[in-house]
Amino acid sequence: MKLKGFIYAIISSIFFGSAGIFVKSSYTENFSPVDLLMLQYIIASIILLIICIIKHRSSLKLSKSMLKKLIIQGIVGNTFMTVFFYSSFKYLDMAVATMLLYLYPAMVAAISFIFLKAKISKLKIAAICGTFVGSLLVLNIFSSSFSSISLRGVLFGVLAAIFYAFMTIYAEKIVEDVPALIITFYTTVFSLVVLFIINYGFIAKIPSITSGAILNAALLAFFCEIIPLTLLYAAIKHIGSVSTSIISTIELPAAAVFSYFIMHENISLIQIIGILIIGYSVIVLKKEQ
């Protein structure tokens, strides 16, 4: 059973690491990252609703307190994390954008120490410093090409990591016995509602959405949201959350491989070393947590 859990976690991470392929392939002058995200959420919400009705019909009705928690998680955490993450792909290479998101374990540790008064060990401090050094290497600050890196893209990537850290910390408050698919469905719907309010112009774009954009959004919904999340929860069931989260660092090299071989983006030796440092630092932080 443990072997099955490890396989689930590895496949889940690889699927998550492929997100940049579909995101970067969908951008046009008239179709923004938020537009793509909304289209993905529409498709994912419909699919998740059908699955939830079939498998968890009795669990669809939640308490008011749980709905409030899911509203906060969906609006504050999921919405801003995905919007900034998708936006970073518009300005950065796929591997760099994914790496910046994986600063979130260090941010979780820092936020817990500063605001929640949690104890922090010397090893954890060293790991946080490691993620910072690794980030500088991945951004290739010692190369002449560093000046061409978009600061806006870096800012979006860091903000995505901050909101991902919030999601991780706030998730501890969602402890009621609710199926994972139900939680995913509600947070997706709440995020979609907020995006419709923020980006109401999307409605006017619906008739002009291309079949290619619909296909990419559907692929994102299947391969970068529904399938990997389902496999992730299955992995947690078999091997626990700590082991699963450690294995999830495979997403970093997976994104780098996809970036190089599919998107034909250059990755230097220094950037590879930076990714390895971040991956190791994340593993240390996960073990500490």
pLDDT value at position 27? 62
pLDDT value at position 240? 65
pLDDT value at position 194? 92
CA distance 255 to 253: 5
DSSP category for residue 60 = S
Walk along the chain (289 residues) in steps of 10 and give the mean pLDDT of each run: 76 79 66 84 93 88 88 89 88 80 74 71 75 72 65 91 82 69 88 90 85 84 82 71 61 73 76 80 66
Helices marked H in 102-240 — which ranges?
Answer: 104-114, 122-138, 151-170, 180-198, 202-205, 211-221, 227-239
Place of tokens 């308490």: 63
Burial of residue 2 (CB within 10 Å: 0-12, 13-18, 19+) is: exposed
In the chain, domain spans:
32-288
pLDDT value at position 260? 74
Tell me if 247 sits within 8 A of 235, measured CB to CB.
yes
Nearest to 162, CA basis, from 219, 90, 88, 225: 88
Burial of residue 260 (CB within 10 Å: 0-12, 13-18, 19+) is: middle
pLDDT value at position 128? 72
DSSP category for residue 143 = S
